[in-house]
Amino acid sequence: MIRTVIVCCLLAGLSSLRAQIVREDAATLVYRQRDGLVVTLRKRPLRTVIAYASLTKVWYAAGGEAVAVPTVKSKAALPAATHALPEIGKINMINAEQVLLQKPDLVLLNHDFPRHRELATLLRGMGVDALCCEYDNYADYAELVELFAKLNGQAMPAGGHAGADDIAALCAKARQQPSPRVAIILCTSSGFALETPVSNTGYMARMLGATNVVANTEQRKVQFSYERFLLDNPDVIVIVPMGDLAGLQSKFRQELLTQPAWGNLAAAKASRVHFLPAEWFLFQAGPDYPQALRHLAALLYPGVDFDQ
């Protein structure tokens, strides 16, 4: 359900409102973005351009279709129906000209990207509806799928989005087990970082009852310190790859597995070091969250049957 609770964040004397639906009628929906900007969106758009890859599966799950999508390394991150659509550039370098060539009546963007917010302002000035979404983790998905369903004129099931009941049962079963200490490493070509409990993967781990070695909930990732990592000594290590998988696996082996004392880590001793599928853990899983959570649960709680 779209949250109606206002979450106040005091930072440098400023406060911000949680994104939420303000009101709607048969033809339009009024929405307050995370930055407080209130936008009016026409329902049942016919030409939607999606500028943030992870929003694509959510939009399609809510009954929508797109006419263009961003460029991604792996098409697995997008619904099959979009694989032949025109591309409008990489997520952080969206080409405004390519967007306009599609003659959109709605453009979906990510609030976290300054260039997306700038593009939204440009589009609105030209009479095109633009929505800057907040999509960090599963909690945001549950809200977005309802928002998108309303925009597409679709009715949501009484129990919430498809898969909600399965996810609740899966998480309840996982949380009956002893809580493992997990480290979530974001692996990129430029280095490593640790993901926090509010990242996409971190939020899923928390839903499943695991304890993140990073307690920070103010940001989605923090700097990786090998010395600190040894002291944290996680029971399980999962790696989120951002880039070419084979190259990142090689980088991980060369730069971490060869480090002194790596073999003394509890996770290394138990062979509990796992690379995760990027389409579920680098990108938000959208309607595939049940499968993604089941995959992660099997790594966190080996020996527990989550298929029953």
Residue ranges of domains in the chain: 20-151, 164-300
Rg, C-alpha atoms of the chain = 20
Over its length of 308 residues, how does the chain's per-residue pLDDT go in tens digits? 333 222 223 222 333 467 899 999 999 999 999 899 999 999 999 999 999 999 999 999 999 999 999 999 888 889 999 999 999 999 999 999 999 999 999 999 999 999 999 999 999 999 999 999 999 999 999 889 999 999 999 876 555 676 889 999 999 999 999 999 999 999 999 999 999 999 999 999 999 999 999 998 889 999 999 999 999 999 999 999 999 999 999 999 999 999 989 999 999 999 999 999 999 999 999 999 999 999 999 999 999 999 86
Given this model, what pLDDT does residue 223 score? Answer: 95
In the CATH scheme, what is the code of domain 164-300?
Answer: 3.40.50.1980
Where does the chain show beta strands of DSSP type E? 20-24, 28-32, 38-42, 48-50, 69-71, 87-90, 106-110, 129-133, 181-188, 191-195, 211-212, 221-223, 236-242, 273-275
Same topology between domain 20-151 and domain 164-300: yes
Given this model, what pLDDT does residue 295 score? Answer: 98
Given this model, what pLDDT does residue 234 score? Answer: 98
How far is C-alpha 122 from the chain's CA centre?
25
Given this model, what pLDDT does residue 276 score? Answer: 98
Q: Note the CATH architecture for domain 20-151.
A: 3-Layer(aba) Sandwich (3.40)
Given this model, what pLDDT does residue 279 score? Answer: 93
